[in-house]
Amino acid sequence: MVKLTINGKTVEVEEGTTILEAARKVNIDIPTLCFLKDINEAGDCRMCVVEVEGMRGLVPSCIQKVSEGMVVNTATDEVIEARKTVLDLILSNHERECLTCVRNGNCELQNLAQEFCLDDIRYKGERISGPIDDKSPSIVRNPNKCILCRRCVSTCKKLQGICAIDVMERGFASKIGTYKDLSLNDVNCTFCGQCIESCPVGALTEKDSVTEVWKALRNPDKYVIVQTAPAVRAGLGEEFGMPIGTNSCGKMVTALRDLGFDKVFDTNTGADFTIMEEGTEFLHRLQNNETLPMITSCCPAWIRYIELNYPDLIPHVSTCKSPHQMYGALLKSYYAEKEGIDPSKIYVVSVMPCIAKKFERTRDDQNGAGYEDVDAVITTRELARMIKQAHINFVNLEDSLFDDPMGEATGAAAIFGVTGGVMEAALRTVQEKVTGNAFEKLEYESVRGEKGIKRATLQMGEKEVKVVVASGLKNAQTIMEEIASGQADYDFVEIMACPGGCVMGGGQPIRSSKDRATIDIRAKRSEVLYNIDEKSVIRKSHENPVLKKVYEEYLGEPGGEKAHHLLHTSYVRREKYNLNDN
């Protein structure tokens, strides 16, 4: 342990702790901008500088380690003036259209400018400007708002292992760029959106779909159905000041009705169908020893990743569509037929924690009923913006339930939003199908938790089944290399692109770097979904009465011809360009 003094307070911390971490332990706030715990710890921006007695000049607290007897001052006149100068220089080359920026009110640069009472820009000179990249269906990159903090670069490189972006040029001409200055749409970006979550300003945002959804809602010829993913209810409340880890499902359903949607359904129902189809496919492969391991297909960023990086392993991926695409296909076929609605008039909106879902809905082979399965995808953040635009007082809304007859779902479906959840939900069904026995303990602890890679061996009757769960694309690469080299003997693999799963998706509420460093956001959001599962009356997908009815009346057997036509898809080999190709 090391003792030091910060602003006159004695602090004792472990050796190797930074000044920033030590200060936070005694509630002394040091501003940061480029810092992102465990991802971008370079001390580049100099917003976090402090004065250390005996050291020449000011030092960046995010990388300076503490030492015995160190005396630190975090708010001297020299320190404050240095921080103001840093802000002035950043703002002098920043597009300052704050009132029309999607990050207005949730921008770390804006917050710092307010904190330091900046009322003018002292350094007015030449500004770098560049074209906005909005070619992809998922993400928009505005270089004119970029502050070169490099958080996005480190996230893409260190956290995800993608390297789709990096710092180009030098000095004043420095910029964040791509291979040959191509659009993110045309390089090896997977649209996971983790760069958006890490960006402190509005330089990276999701492609907006709010305008087209409002247009559909106001069209009297459209029958507009909305479906919501499990992770959305675990994050939406944060956009309205509610604590992290609040289950806002009931208020969310009420708000969606108030927005004017004709029906409000739960994507969890689609997840139950996914388990039936994916479980059936896995059992067939397992029993016939065909193309194992089988890899889950719910995550579109992961699907794009394998198409770009491991196209030869595509046969290992389940052909099942993701839950919201399956559900859209059923809404425009089975539901339309039952309700006597012309499917061409049905407009399906998916509310997702994920920006890659915007890309997914545009893929080929996502039109099982003869129409696009899903017409628009909005993120958790976009739904919050719609609610605010409609002047709905979200916090004070009464709770309400999803609509019948397509709104019933199981606890197994709820945990799709956490890493290991798809695997656990599938195993609940597959194990019963294999053994013919009902199981009372449904929690598969071996595939839960925050570890990026979780391996387990399960006994299913007389057969041992080896499974692995990976979240984060850097961890996915480890598993794929094992499979490609023939070292792996897995039977079933679950991969989610976002570390922690969909609860930490690229379309979820954006938290500050301080929140990310001091709060276990993943655990709090995940707990919402595990609690929903534990309190559910039905916790196995194959016991969902809606699912049973649809198969009996319409689809026939899981994996059958009609089910395969509506609920399954195909994949393609994609060209790969990234900065490592230079």
Confidence of residue 101 (pLDDT cuts 50, 70, 90): very high
Arithmetic mean of pLDDT, 445-460: 87
Looking at the structure, do residues 70 and 198 belong to the same domain, yes or no? no
For 43-58, the pLDDT digits (tens) are: 999 999 999 999 999 9
> Which amino acid is located at 103 in the chain?
R
User: How far is residue 440's CA from residue 192's CA, in Å, rounded to a whole number?
Assistant: 36
Q: DSSP letters of 268-317?
A: HHHHHHHHHHHHHHHHHHHHHT-S-SEE----HHHHHHHHHH-GGGGGGB
Looking at the structure, do residues 507 and 464 belong to the same domain, yes or no? yes
| Top-confidence residue, 408 or 356 | 356
Task: Find out whether 49 and 59 touch, Cβ atoms under 8 Å.
Answer: yes
For 424-450, the pLDDT digits (tens) are: 999 898 888 877 777 777 678 888 888
Predicted local confidence at residue 577, as pLDDT: 66
Looking at the structure, do residues 353 and 281 belong to the same domain, yes or no? yes
Looking at the structure, do residues 497 and 550 belong to the same domain, yes or no? yes
* Residue 117 lies in domain: 91-206
Confidence of residue 318 (pLDDT cuts 50, 70, 90): very high
Secondary structure letter of residue 375 according to DSSP: S
Predicted local confidence at residue 580, as pLDDT: 58
Arithmetic mean of pLDDT, 377-398: 98
Looking at the structure, do residues 31 and 117 belong to the same domain, yes or no? no
In the predicted structure, residue 537 carries a pLDDT above the cut 70: yes
User: How far is residue 503's CA from residue 496's CA, in Å, rounded to a whole number?
Assistant: 11
CATH of the domain at 235: 3.40.50.1780
| Of 62, 63, 44, 36, residue with least CA distance to 156 | 36
Residue 80 lies in a domain: no
| Of 404, 386, 402, residue with least CA distance to 394 | 386
Say how many domains are in the chain.
3
Looking at the structure, do residues 340 and 251 belong to the same domain, yes or no? yes
Task: Find out whether 383 and 236 touch, Cβ atoms under 8 Å.
Answer: yes
Domain end position, chosen among 75, 109, 139: 75
Domain end position, chosen among 185, 206, 227: 206
Q: 3-state class of 87 per DSSP?
A: helix
Note the residue count of the chain. Answer: 582
| Top-confidence residue, 575 or 563 | 563
| Of 463, 468, 505, 520, residue with least CA distance to 490 | 468
Place of tokens 């990086």: 309
Arithmetic mean of pLDDT, 24-47: 95
Residue 471 lies in a domain: yes
Residue 386 lies in a domain: yes
Sign for the CA dihedral angle at 29, 34, 38, 43 comes to negative
User: How far is residue 570's CA from residue 582's CA, in Å, rounded to a whole number?
Assistant: 31
Looking at the structure, do residues 337 and 476 belong to the same domain, yes or no? yes
Looking at the structure, do residues 345 and 284 belong to the same domain, yes or no? yes
In the predicted structure, residue 520 carries a pLDDT above the cut 60: yes
Looking at the structure, do residues 70 and 96 belong to the same domain, yes or no? no
User: How far is residue 533's CA from residue 540's CA, in Å, rounded to a whole number?
Assistant: 10
| Of 340, 314, 406, 327, residue with least CA distance to 372 | 327
Domain end position, chosen among 75, 99, 127: 75
User: How far is residue 535's CA from residue 399's CA, in Å, rounded to a whole number?
Assistant: 17
Arithmetic mean of pLDDT, 76-100: 94
Report the mean per-residue pLDDT for the chain.
Answer: 94
Residue 165 lies in a domain: yes
Predicted local confidence at residue 582, as pLDDT: 44
Predicted local confidence at residue 578, as pLDDT: 60
Residue 513 lies in a domain: yes
Looking at the structure, do residues 39 and 102 belong to the same domain, yes or no? no
Secondary structure letter of residue 454 according to DSSP: E
Task: Find out whether 483 and 490 touch, Cβ atoms under 8 Å.
Answer: yes
User: How far is residue 567's CA from residue 81's CA, in Å, rounded to a whole number?
Assistant: 61
Q: How far, in whole angstroms, is CA 225 from its chain's centroid?
A: 23
In the predicted structure, residue 551 carries a pLDDT above the cut 80: yes
Arithmetic mean of pLDDT, 164-176: 92
CATH of the domain at 48: 3.10.20.740
Looking at the structure, do residues 265 and 196 belong to the same domain, yes or no? no
Confidence of residue 299 (pLDDT cuts 50, 70, 90): very high
Residue 319 lies in a domain: yes
Give backbone dihedrals phi and psi of 117, rounded to 5 degrees, phi first: 55, 45
In the predicted structure, residue 407 carries a pLDDT above the cut 80: no
Token digits for 410? 């199981």
Residue 81 lies in a domain: no
Looking at the structure, do residues 140 and 247 belong to the same domain, yes or no? no
Residue 272 lies in a domain: yes
